[in-house]
Amino acid sequence: MCVPVIHGRSKSQIVKNLRKNAFQVNNVKMDSQQQLVQSIDKLTENVDRNLKHIQSNIGDVQSSVDKNIQAVQAEMKGMERKWENEMEYMKDTINQIKKTGTSGQGRSQYRPRQNQGRDRSTWECYNCHELGHIAKFCPKSNETPKEALNLKGSG
């Protein structure tokens, strides 16, 4: 039997070399697959580690946001209380102005006209005891009632 020779090799040597090369290719493929699996495992571990880190950060951020929300709510309640106090003060001041014509804090900008709409005929003057005016506006006295009281007390 005659064995063909290709490039100085026999058919059996070529088959042997092919099997050897195939085995090496399979080994390379298996090594590559194992390396690929190891790489995927490492990536998965890294992703898991990063995910845990991200979840931890989200928890910290959520906690910080909750604290900020609580602080803002507390500040808003304080501002609401201040606003309510101011509104109550303004209502009291308006009521006092309506009753007395002054806010009780110095000279008022709002002053009703003197004795407007009142019946002056029943008023009695403490200076001259006549009806129709009060001592402050008494035509018979050049002194104010306070000055008259001071003079009476000293004499």
The model's pLDDT over 72-82, given as tens digits with 9 standing for 90+, comes to 999 999 999 99
Dist. CA 99–CA 112, nearest whole Å: 11
Give how many domains the chain has, as a whole number: 2
Report if residue 94 sits inside a domain.
yes
The model's pLDDT over 108-154, given as tens digits with 9 standing for 90+, comes to 555 555 555 577 888 888 888 888 888 888 888 765 555 555 655 55
Residues 62 and 4 reside in one and the same domain: yes
Report if residue 117 sits inside a domain.
no
Residues 95 and 135 reside in one and the same domain: no
Report if residue 44 sits inside a domain.
yes
**pLDDT tops 50 at residue 57:** yes
Residues 16 and 91 reside in one and the same domain: yes
Residues 11 and 82 reside in one and the same domain: yes
Residues 94 and 128 reside in one and the same domain: no
Residues 96 and 142 reside in one and the same domain: no
Residues 54 and 128 reside in one and the same domain: no
Give me the pLDDT at residue 87, please.
92
List, as one string, the DSSP characters of 13-76.
Answer: HHHHHHHHHHHHHHHHHHHHHHHHHHHHHHHHHHHHHHHHHHHHHHHHHHHHHHHHHHHHHHHH
**pLDDT tops 50 at residue 155:** no
Dist. CA 29–CA 42, nearest whole Å: 20
Residues 42 and 5 reside in one and the same domain: yes
Report if residue 110 sits inside a domain.
no
Report if residue 8 sits inside a domain.
yes
Mean pLDDT of all residues belonging to the chain: 77
Residues 1 and 72 reside in one and the same domain: yes
- For residue 82, the enclosing domain spans 1-103
Residues 75 and 138 reside in one and the same domain: no
Q: What is the four-CA torsion angle of 84, 86, 91, 92, rounded to 10 degrees? A: 120
The rounded radius of gyration (Å) of the Cα atoms in the chain is: 54
Dist. CA 74–CA 12, nearest whole Å: 91
Report if residue 108 sits inside a domain.
no
Give me the pLDDT at residue 43, please.
85
Residues 139 and 73 reside in one and the same domain: no
Note whether 108 and 98 are within 8 A (CB).
no
